[in-house]
């Protein structure tokens, strides 16, 4: 496989890999490093790429595994799992503060979700992958993916309701 073919295959989903890495590692620099490592791994194994049913699924799985390894490593004591990539340029100060508070609340809620649920929530609700693709990436049964996503959404919903109804009633 030549460089042009490789780029044509990998470039369409490179940003998805970065967003997943950013979601898991928070730090832009760490996410860039993770994405670069995965792309390097793909380049090194470019001869095997024709054997993959879905290069994108393999790359997402590799990104997820690399990020989780980084989070488990001793060097990553300052890294945590959160999400903070929401921006809206044309908002009032009040909306900006509300959005920042909402993102902060979601970060806190997601901090308490199991890692698998965080990843599934990211892949399905943010990256818009289909259940079959997620099940392939995470090597899970599609029904288990649906159950984990449902549980994650339920937990998030309950925590949001608890927060918004605090002191009411």
What is the per-residue pLDDT for 102?
80
Please give the Cα distance from 101 to 147 (Å, whole number): 28
Both tokens of 60, joined, read: 């997402």
What is the per-residue pLDDT for 36?
93
Q: What is the pTM of this model?
A: 0.54
What is the per-residue pLDDT for 149?
93
More confident residue, 88 or 42: 42
Rounded to 5 degrees, φ, ψ at 124 are -85, -50
Instruction: Please count the CA atoms within 13 angstroms of the CA of 118 that sit on its side-chain side.
Output: 23
Please give the Cα distance from 136 to 132 (Å, whole number): 6
> 152, 120 in Cβ contact below 8 A?
yes
Please give the Cα distance from 68 to 62 (Å, whole number): 10
More confident residue, 57 or 169: 57
What is the per-residue pLDDT for 45?
85
Kindly report, residue by residue over 9-41, the tens digit of the pLDDT. 888 999 999 988 888 887 888 889 999 999 999
Kindly report, residue by residue over 68-127, the tens digit of the pLDDT. 888 877 454 555 545 445 454 555 777 778 778 887 888 788 878 998 999 898 888 878
What is the per-residue pLDDT for 91?
55
Structural domains in the chain, sorted by start: 10-76 (1.10.1740.10), 93-164 (1.10.10.10)
């Amino acid at each position: 496989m030549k460089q042009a073919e490789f780029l044509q295959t990998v470039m369409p989903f490179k940003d998805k890999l970065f967003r997943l890495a950013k979601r898991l590692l928070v730090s832009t620099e760490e996410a860039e490093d993770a994405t670069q490592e995965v792309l390097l791994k793909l380049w090194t194994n470019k001869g095997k790429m024709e054997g993959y049913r879905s290069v994108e699924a393999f790359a997402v799985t590799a990104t997820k595994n690399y990020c989780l390894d980084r989070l488990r490593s001793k060097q990553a004591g300052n890294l945590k799992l959160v999400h903070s990539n929401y921006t809206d340029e044309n908002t009032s100060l009040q909306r900006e503060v509300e959005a920042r508070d909402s993102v902060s609340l979601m970060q806190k809620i997601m901090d308490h979700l199991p890692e698998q649920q965080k990843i599934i929530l990211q892949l399905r609700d943010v990256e818009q992958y289909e259940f079959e693709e997620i099940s392939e990436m995470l090597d899970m049964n599609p029904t288990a993916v649906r159950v984990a996503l449902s549980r994650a959404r339920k937990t998030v919903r309950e925590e949001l309701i608890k927060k918004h109804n605090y002191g009411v009633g």
